[in-house]
Amino acid sequence: KKIKSDRSTKTRCYEFLNMTSRSFAAVIQNLDDELRDVVCLFYLILRGLDTIEDDMTLSIEKKDPLLRDFYNIIRVEGWRFEESGDQEKDRQLLVEFYVVIDEFLKLDEKYQKVITDICKKVGNGMADYATDAALNTYGIISLGDFDKYCHYVAGLVGIGLTNLFIASGLEAEIATRDEAIANSMGLFLQKVNITRDYLEDISHGRCYWPKAIWSQYASNLYELKNPGNETEAINCLSAMLLNTLQHVTQNLTYMNSLRNQSIFEFCAIPQVMAIATLALLFRNYDVYRKVVKIRKGQTLALIKQSKNIYQVAAVFRYYTQQIMKKNDARDPNFLKISIVCGQIEQWC
């Protein structure tokens, strides 16, 4: 009986992985044996946290303790959560969360320690910002706030994964030990998503674009998408791109320090998707009309181009040149964008 339940709980975890994340699930399943289950569970635990944070049907009184206590909840056998509302596939994950917990508690202590530590920091960070959103103040004012928020929801994931890579013994390079560049891996992905998801986020009454940026182009974030403000909207988008591009050279350094092939591809694929998305978003007014995504065919081509640092550098060089071509001398950020693109090309 026990053996059967083991097989079904682990299988159920991978079913959730494939349910909750389209292309990325395959990348996780390509990881070496030592890390596959660990990262799968880390991903699902983070997904559980994200589902609670994103759930607009949960009152702050309910949400706050759940987020702050999640690092303990992942040790409570049998725990499940049925009140989560909106996203069906994510909801099911929380209804059967005890399956994730069962598998998590079977992991080697050294992995449980890393995941617990990150969960505690992410949960508290999310709760701090959830309070802001509940108080309806724009939580993200300064560029410092922007980097802090992205650190909590994404940078810590980069740091956590790096600690898992090192704990597994598959990576040892000093460069990956540098928390600042592991953090940067997350900030880049998160900032590209935040830039891409402008319309979707404001339609849910959320805004993650820092006031320090959008206030130079409009008196409020919602105004940016109104007819007549096209030039300001496009130039604001450039400012978001400029802020996001600053992480690229650190990320290339991080990827250059990786030695395990499966870890390299696991890290490189989301990065090349992100630079391709960013180039597509640049000076693209569609950002204010719909969610702009790169085409499936491009995704597959990019995955093939993520096998080693030479290919990845070539991809970054290509999209940096695409950005330079679209750069417009009338854009107030024209010069800064060309400088940061120059630095990226120099690295490559």
Report the catalytic residues: 149, 196, 206, 266
- CB neighbourhood size of 105 (10 A): 13
Our finding on whether 125 is near ligand D9A (CB under 6 A) is: no
39 binds ligand D9A (CB under 6 A): yes
Residue with tokens 């919602």: 222
Nearer to ligand D9A, 229 or 253 (CB): 253
Residue 33: name the closest of 269, 255, 262, 308 by CA: 262
In angstroms, give the least distance from the CB of 116 to ligand D9A.
Answer: 15
State the burial class of residue 339 (Cβ atoms within 10 Å of its Cβ: 0-12, 13-18, 19+).
exposed
Nearest distance from C-beta of residue 219 to ligand D9A, angstroms: 30
185 binds ligand D9A (CB under 6 A): yes
Q: Which of 274, 223, 216, 222 is nearest to 245 (CA)?
A: 274
Among 84, 168, 190, 195, binds ligand D9A (CB under 6 A): 190
Which residues have CB under 8 Å from 294's CB, separation 6+? 273, 276, 277, 280, 302
| Nearer CB in complex with ligand D9A: 157/337 | 157
Q: Which of 48, 123, 125, 186 binds ligand D9A (CB under 6 A)?
A: 186
Check binding of 343 to ligand D9A (CB under 6 A): no
∠ CA(123), CA(52), CA(110), 5° rounding?
45
**Among 49, 130, 189, 213, which residue sits at the site for ligand D9A (rule: CB under 6 A)?**
189
d(CA 90, CA 77): 20
Distance CA 117, CA 3 (A): 30
Residue 22 in the binding site for ligand D9A (CB under 6 A)? yes
- The correct pick among 16, 42, 149, 209 for binding ligand D9A (CB under 6 A) is 42
Rounded to the nearest 10 degrees, the angle between the axes of helix 2-20 and helix 88-95 is: 160
Q: Which of 336, 333, 334 shows the shortest CA–CA distance to 216?
A: 333
Closest CB to ligand D9A among residues 27, 133: 27
If the CB atoms of residues 168 and 333 are measured against ligand D9A, the closer one turns out to be 168
Q: Position 187: which residue type?
A: L
Q: Which of 24, 37, 33 is nearest to 267 (CA)?
A: 24
Out of 8, 23, 226, 231, point to the residue binding ligand D9A (CB under 6 A).
23
- E strand or H helix that includes residue 162: helix 156-167
* Binders in 249-308 for ligand D9A, by CB under 6 A: 266-267, 270
Pick the stretch among 73-81, 94-102, 150-158, 323-331 that binds ligand D9A (CB under 6 A): 150-158
214 within 8 A of 201, measured Cβ to Cβ:
no
Binding status of residue 16 toward ligand D9A by CB under 6 A: no
Among 101, 114, 157, 302, binds ligand D9A (CB under 6 A): 157
Q: Which of 17, 38, 46, 100 binds ligand D9A (CB under 6 A)?
A: 46
**Does residue 116 belong to the site contacting ligand D9A (CB under 6 A)?**
no
Any contact of residue 158 with ligand D9A (CB under 6 A)? yes
CA atoms of 342 and 331, how far apart (whole Å): 17
By the rule CB under 6 A, 192 interacts with ligand D9A: no
| Element housing 179 (H / E) | helix 179-196
Q: Which is nearer to ligand D9A, 246 or 270 (CB)?
A: 270
Which one of the spans 86-94, 180-188, 211-219, 307-315 is the region binding ligand D9A (CB under 6 A)? 180-188
Cα 100 from chain centre:
21
Q: Determine if 153 is a binding residue for ligand D9A (CB under 6 A).
A: yes
Pair 11, 81: CB distance under 8 Å: no
The answer to whether residue 115 forms part of the interface with ligand D9A (CB under 6 A) is no
Q: Show the CA angle centred on residue 151, arms to residues 220 and 340, nearest 5°.
A: 75
Site residues for ligand D9A per CB under 6 A: 21-24, 39, 42-43, 46, 153-154, 157-158, 161-162, 182, 185-186, 189-190, 266-267, 270
